[in-house]
Structure 1
């Protein structure tokens, strides 16, 4: 998604030409793209041709008023996520609460205050882009990871049934390569997400600083959603996501180490066997955990000092894979009555 918030398309719906003129000129001067409608019926028809990023909707209009228009927007799966800001001269609590209940995200009072309009528009445009980008990233990467997981499961069954360990290195190399791009993209996006969240939180703090006395309904809504907790917890969520992606990166590195895709296995190279053992253990970690069919296996590493040696890393990794896999199989057969078993390396 390369569109910037400054070029966002905004639909302004108002039956008063003077109000439309003021709003259109204000938004265009800020670099927004603006389209207009003079009634709720025309707005719904117009949206069917092109979806805006934000809708500024007048409440009092002949025919279909703003409340009914907003209700129909939220009932439509294609438009339900478009943020709606009501424009109204009615400052009574009942109208404001009704607007929020129907799904509006904010409201602007008439006569318009340019600074207030631009502040509210910018806030919700930024939030909308953040939501869209995050949803797009999550859906795309989840789909990619699901595909990789399915491939892993299929190949795991194939490997269990076959003793052709020579194919394992190529398989893991391919999986590691497939993991690299989505993992790198996720990690990169979490960095951008962290920046976006910081900017939005900063923007909200400025909003609270220069508009310190919002109406009680906004205060109640903030308390209802526990806004302070969300602002505090969002950075923690991003940190957790980054830690998880780093963990997957470590696994991907171990897969590449095992497969030795960067080395020519037809030639001997200087290599440390502890690195190969650790990579093998990480790859087989799922077989060490307890489930309904087996108990947990505890790995005890008693590594002595071994210098780097000249060897074929790929073939050596296959040897360790065979040895540790056979040891796990033997332990599983003998450990049904024990609380847990140990595998010493």
Structure 2
């Protein structure tokens, strides 16, 4: 898709220049021939020339914005679906999170039932970390999508105005622990929290159990969180924990080493 999108985007750039030249020519004609005749005046009125001159450049700009948006989405999909090899590679965690947010943007937008879900970013200064970027993107996708699901569940029975007074929000925080005891191998901390209804201790204890799900039949397999746990703990030698209580929202905390740790046989 990138080739036709780039073709359209490039031609829109030239089209805008050509349209600007034609508009300038029309203005020169109007200034030079102040009495063009009734036939010309009738055509000017029929095509609403003043509105056309004002709106056409805006239309080209919006089309250019659309092609840029498509290109950004394609880049995000390519980054998200990248195939990890057998070795870990340095990666920017924030880029992975931003890619995930772009892919999920349609679920974050306002709709007839609720305002937009607020995304609060509290990004720290992170080094590039040695990891499997595609697999970590899968973790981010699952945790943020689950947070959206939890917020939508918490909205049940509430009016638009009630939700607006206490907006749905997802807070994403990142930091690095480079204290003395972590000097040889600092860890990166990633927290994804929602202000939904939270969960009971009973449910929280089963979250990482295969096939356990609180979602309606057909909407969840119960494998997302166990896979996330496996990616973080086994593939990256880190930890994935959940902190939640009824009425207090839910937070998932990921801790992974910034540098690669050999996996013992």
Q: TM-score range by the shorter chain?
A: 0.5 to 0.7
Structure-2 change in CA distance of 1:200 and 1:295 (3 Å) = closer
Do structure 1's residue 260 and structure 2's residue 260 form an aligned pair? no
Do structure 1's residue 342 and structure 2's residue 169 form an aligned pair? yes
Equivalents in 2 of 1:269, 1:253: separation in Å? 19
More strand by share: 2
Which protein shows a greater Rg?
1
More helix by share: 1
Equivalents in 2 of 1:326, 1:287: separation in Å? 11
Do structure 1's residue 250 and structure 2's residue 77 form an aligned pair? no
Per the TM alignment, residue 329 of structure 1 is displaced from its structure 2 partner at its CA by 1.4
Structure-2 change in CA distance of 1:231 and 1:294 (3 Å) = closer
Secondary structure (helix, strand or coil) at the match of 2:130 reads strand
Equivalents in 2 of 1:297, 1:231: separation in Å? 38
Equivalents in 2 of 1:322, 1:231: separation in Å? 48
Which residue of the other structure, out of 203, 221, 226, is the alignment partner of 2:48?
Answer: 226
Equivalents in 2 of 1:260, 1:248: separation in Å? 18
Which residue of structure 1 aligns with residue 122 of structure 2? 302
Q: How does 1:249-328 map to 2 (within 5 A)?
A: 249-260=71-82, 264-292=84-112, 296-328=116-148
Secondary structure (helix, strand or coil) at the match of 2:122 reads coil
Equivalent pairs, count: 165
Under a length normalisation based on structure 2, what TM-score does the superposition of the two structures give?
0.55
Cα RMSD of the aligned pairs, angstroms, is 2.4
Unaligned runs of 5+ residues in structure 1 are 1-177
Under a length normalisation based on structure 1, what TM-score does the superposition of the two structures give?
0.43
Residue pair 1:265, 1:313 contacting (<8 A) in 2 also: no
Unaligned runs of 5+ residues in structure 2 are 173-265
Which residue of the other structure, out of 38, 42, 50, is the alignment partner of 1:216?
Answer: 38
Output one character per residue of 1:113-157: Cα deviation in whole Å (capped at 9) or x when no partner.
xxxxxxxxxxxxxxxxxxxxxxxxxxxxxxxxxxxxxxxxxxxxx
Equivalents in 1 of 2:53, 2:38: separation in Å? 20
Per the TM alignment, residue 211 of structure 1 is displaced from its structure 2 partner at its CA by 4.6
